[in-house]
Structure 1
């Protein structure tokens, strides 16, 4: 939990955060042009929401949500995907869910999928959200990228590259190494 809190802090001040990674870590870069607009910790869940500089979590067209479920060790990416898909399809009757990729990265199981709602009844706008779920040994990690419009092909490619860069590492395990860091977020 110590490092999750450190990475949580690094999201607040990425240009000044000096870090030495320890234990299990979610490695996620801070997207250029984004700001942290909301953070919370409820029970075992730590959540950060980032939006473009000119937007807020109350009025957004694009959003990145990161959730760390501290100590959650038994859930699989497939179980989380099934849970989220069922909730999505209940909320959006004409919605869809499509798997993108699954497998193992740096020794950790992951799954990426997209959920689409042509007209979200809660907002009256279309919504498309990509998810990446990673099962760590210590915690469970989920990163979401949502659009309230149909993203361009270039945007999809950009954000899929971003998702590929998100990994979990562990300084305690030689086969799941963490990089040496001088500054986080630069």
Structure 2
């Protein structure tokens, strides 16, 4: 479901992606204890990295943290519009899903948005939920999602909210302590 929604959002908002990426912006969050990279890919238009708990895979996971970059998207759209596109397309990917209102906020002095989606039955037939944070960089859109497959607890959601709440956007030569 995550991949379908992310691709649909990008296609809906971007007619073409420029080949030149903005200068080395990146999302920085607290270390993920006991998580390992499960998948990663990048090109001039976008990048994705999926991290899962040690012993799990991107096919069989209980938690997943996904980090994406969409080149040039922030120059054409806003984090709130990106998140709203995800919200609007969720019912097609997951009938019966509960989608929170898009919350606009500021992260690292940049426009950002948050969203939560709870899907009662994902493609695998089990519940899947994710919290999404989108941050506008100079020209790129940076997105981090924390997803849960199967049952999730209040403690799981609190962990995800703390993790995303501690995420910052670091720019080249940024002097924020978390960026060094």
TM-score range, shorter chain: 0.7 to 0.9
**Unmatched segments (≥5 aa) in structure 2:** 1-22
Q: CA RMSD in A?
A: 2.1
Q: Tell me which residue corresponds to 1:154.
A: 155
Contact 2:28–2:179 (8 Å) recurs in 1: no
How far apart, in 1, do the equivalents of 2:139 and 2:28 lie?
Answer: 14
Q: CA deviation at 1:100?
A: 6.6
How far apart, in 2, do the equivalents of 1:32 and 1:83 lie?
Answer: 31
- The structure with the largest strand share of the pair is 1
Q: Tell me which residue corresponds to 1:93.
A: 95
Of the three residues 63, 82, 85, the one matched with 1:83 is 85
Of the three residues 110, 113, 137, the one matched with 1:111 is 113
Q: Tell me which residue corresponds to 1:179.
A: 177
1:73-125 per-residue CA deviation (whole Å, 9 max, x = no partner) reads 222111111211122111112111103742112210111110111112x1111
Q: How many residues align?
A: 157
Q: Is the partner of 1:155 in helix, strand or coil?
A: helix
Which one has more relative contact order, counting CA pairs under 8 Å at least 6 apart?
1
1:11-32 per-residue CA deviation (whole Å, 9 max, x = no partner) reads xxxxxxxxxxx85332233310
Q: Is the partner of 1:123 in helix, strand or coil?
A: coil
**Unmatched segments (≥5 aa) in structure 1:** 1-21
How far apart, in 2, do the equivalents of 1:95 and 1:76 lie?
Answer: 24
Contact 2:46–2:70 (8 Å) recurs in 1: yes
Contact 1:170–1:178 (8 Å) recurs in 2: no
Query: TM-score under structure 2 normalisation?
Result: 0.78
Q: CA deviation at 1:171?
A: 4.2
Contact 1:171–1:178 (8 Å) recurs in 2: no
How far apart, in 2, do the equivalents of 1:95 and 1:84 lie?
Answer: 12
Query: TM-score under structure 1 normalisation?
Result: 0.76
1:50-78 per-residue CA deviation (whole Å, 9 max, x = no partner) reads 00001000111211110011233222111
How far apart, in 2, do the equivalents of 1:105 and 1:117 lie?
Answer: 27
How far apart, in 2, do the equivalents of 1:181 and 1:91 lie?
Answer: 36
Q: Which structure would you say has the larger Rg?
A: 1
- The structure with the largest helix share of the pair is 2
1:38-60 per-residue CA deviation (whole Å, 9 max, x = no partner) reads 10114411100000001000111
